[in-house]
Chain A
Amino acid sequence: MKQKLVIIGNGMAPGRMLEHLFEKAPEAFEVTIFNAEPRVNYNRLMLSPVLSGEKDYQDIITHDDDWYAGHGVTLYKSARITGINREKKTVTSENGITADYDKLVIATGSNPFIIPIPGHDLDGVLVYRDLDDVDRMLDAAKTGGRAVVIGGGLLGLEAAAGLKMQGMEVTVLHLMPTLMERQLDTAAGYLLEKAFRDLGIDVITRANTHAVLGKDGHVSGVRLDDGMEIDATIVVMAIGIRPSTQLAKEAGLDVNRGILVGDDMRTSDPEVFALGECVEHREQVYGLVAPLYEMAKVLADQLTGGTSAYRGSVTATKLKVTGIDLYSAGEFAEGEDREEIVLRDAAAGIYKRLVLKNNRIIGAVLYGETADGPWFFDLLKKQLDISEMRETLVFGQSYQGGPPLDPMAAVAALPDDAEICGCNGICKSKIVNSITELGLTGVDGVRAHTKASASCGTCTGLVEQLLAFTLGDSYTPSAVQPMCGCTDLGHDEVRHLIRAKALKSIPAVMQELEWTTSCGCAKCRPALNYYLVCDCPDEYADDYQSRFINERVHANIQKDGTYSVVPRMWGGITSSDELRAIADVVDKFDIPTVKVTGGQRIDMLGIAKEDLPAVWADLGKAGFVSGHAYAKGVRTVKTCVGTDWCRFGTQDSTGFGVRIEKFIWGSWTPAKVKMAVSGCPRNCSEATCKDVGVICVDSGYEIHFAGAAGLDIKGTEVLGLVHDENDALEHIVALVQMYREQGHYLERIYKWAKRIGYDEVRNQILRDAEKRRAYFDRFVFSQKFAQIDPWSERVSGKDKHEFNPMATLTLEAAQ
């Protein structure tokens, strides 16, 4: 007598399980399947090609009616099981069918998770799980309009690409900063986002959906937390799946996140097995197909009396969107005992990263070229020692065994007319001839004389190799100091390339400029953050986690971890009200030290971090704003009392100092900027050792720059004499902007000006009115985004997490 095997669910996992079962013991069971869907078994992985129109339903059927008939399987379609009676060993369906079992397999899969926001139940809010969902999306696509896809994971992105191919406008909303963050690191996530934009799909990251908006019961759009509204004719929620466990729970089986099974795929009832996405095994739930197939094999063996065991799976993911090649497997987190191999090819849009531990691959992320994905995954699963082929590993399988590649040999082998610089159409012979005829010794020279690598810069490496090839040992790569250990590029090159390639984020810079680490270091991140803040003030979202603590909490950290606070006193002028407010704050918060600074203001030292917002709130009430005493930015404009009081004053030095400070405060600069205005050549405000200084004279304003009075002592250089205060302001602002655009991070004005030449500054700022005006205008534009008091922002709640502990634990009495 055959045993009765009942299977609840007809997805890919039970399909595969039955194949194994019939192969091993075709006569052992009488099989009955209950399928809630009204159809046979199909390949769910292929839903995306169906949605995009590249395949249709018939193409993706894995088991048709004939197959079930041929194996004597009874398949009930549209028959959702509503109850399991474990005592009587029966299951009963919604439409009244009851079946006995000897062995039961629960394969109920998973349910899409729907965010319970207002409007989630409107007509036109869809999920992406089965063929019915695809049909609904295809129907909606016929009328066109915009689809909003919530969720930038695997499913959401495939849905977005499919809907786009069906002719809809598509916006993807993703809560996290980068797409597919569970499978990809930020570099690959960046490339993916770029590829989606190239497909014409809008991607909004850090997007928290507040509500689905409706009209007459149907979706009309979505609203985000920040108030932004997007019109939509359909909304697809693809934020994740939950194991479908309701049935098992009601039957009294042990259920956690999923239905709990052991290595033998048995639930807490030995006659009942579970399989697939509904399962939780060793605290893991799986949503990808490979682990489900592994489970299916084990279950088939167990059902036929075997002893094989499922021990969990490592998983690999591949995104199925035409034109985008993406592969991710295993773990890609960094760790101390882990090493990484990163290969980037910016021009080809390739990023490959292998994560190694003890000379074995434990993770791989591939973007742009994924042919070697399965090979890496195989090495990963087999845990093979790769030390033998380590040097060439990342290049893939086809490179193994051959002689190691010599980049010089490749360059030498190029024909004379091979194009090196695509932007400017410069070929190899032109560069080589220039090097020999003009005696060039470095990339800068080649750039100046041939224009090769002067535009986008991606051929810089090739040009360097040509220099090495032509000059032999006499070529010493330019003394350019790399920014940090994460790149060979110097600050100048990085700034140049950020502009040439219009890069707008730190991951973009790291990818396009081929950073050798995945997320930079404490040296390059603050620099890149500044360069991007400076170059795209309107578009770039300041990355606070890449800022030094002082700039993150807008106060100066002291040796004991407390902070000091310096409010702005414009031009060093204060009043009794301001002083009283400071005195009150000092008393109220018991501030231990109050000191007058060299920049003509007052420093309160020794304030606990938690007290900062309250201190600022009180200071703010008296009209104070942040003095940016902590910032790589504009600090103070020191003044003397000028014509207001001084019998020698020639101009209103105080008024002008205040005016400059009010114009430029809040601006970020490569390093701190300190200024001063003196009312006469006696120079009581010591303007001639400042970054920028003004000496007022009878005929106008003598502008100085590039002074220093710190690590180095240096008197200023004279920029020139300007007769009118407005003109003087324009010169000063333009000079600061020129420095902002050209300075290396942490390089003070005096070093920058010496590096580029004092005359170059005079040429651009004093002698070229058009350039000056352009600098001035760019500064004014960037101030629109910079001149916001950070203290009052934080008093009103911004970055609250910075100032409060996350938790307080009370110690237990020692025993």
Chain B
Amino acid sequence: MKAFSLNEYKNGQLKAGLQNSDNFAPLPLPMQVPEKYFDSLESEILKKTVEANAMPGFNPALLPQSLPFTVPADYFSRLESEVLKKTSEAIEPALSLKAENIFTVPEGYWDHLLLRIMERIRKPETAWGRALRFLNAPLPKYSFAGGLALSVAVFVYMLAPVSTADNLNDVSDKDIVAYLEQNMNADITDEISAVAAQSPNTKSLSWQSQLKGKLSDKKADIEAELTE
């Protein structure tokens, strides 16, 4: 059997109360009070307080009717204005000032304002003005800026120099050999061979040596043909 948790119970009751009413509903209690008890409670308390003054040993007549201190004549009638005066002297002059407006407008300004606004409303907007207003709106503005940044990035990327070694990495060994076999030029093949040998991405040494062998064979053939 699940243990009873007082906190859980209370929270559940509060939650139920809050759900049933717009305002805070007190926890339901099993006790009841007489009808309209709370309506008369205040007057009951007052009555009891008055009765308490008549309790044995307490005699209001024995309380002193006046104090041994005196104040100057009209003191209390002047007190308020004195306090106000002292306060206004103590606080900063600016904040005790009335909120006065120090700004002015040219003469006849208010009469012309309405006319000027209506003129501007009636004036047809130019195509340039419409375009500017459109470009000033947040979405087109940021889209345009983003597009521009992207275009610049693509342009820069495309202009970046690509090394011969990187180019060769993208071409298969087979294609290189086929190309070299078809387009023989000693200088170029030596260069490519050298780059391929230096490249860290060169796939295998066997390919390199195979290529070198082929190239030197071809070179020898060409030289032989030329001497003949």
Do A and B bind? no
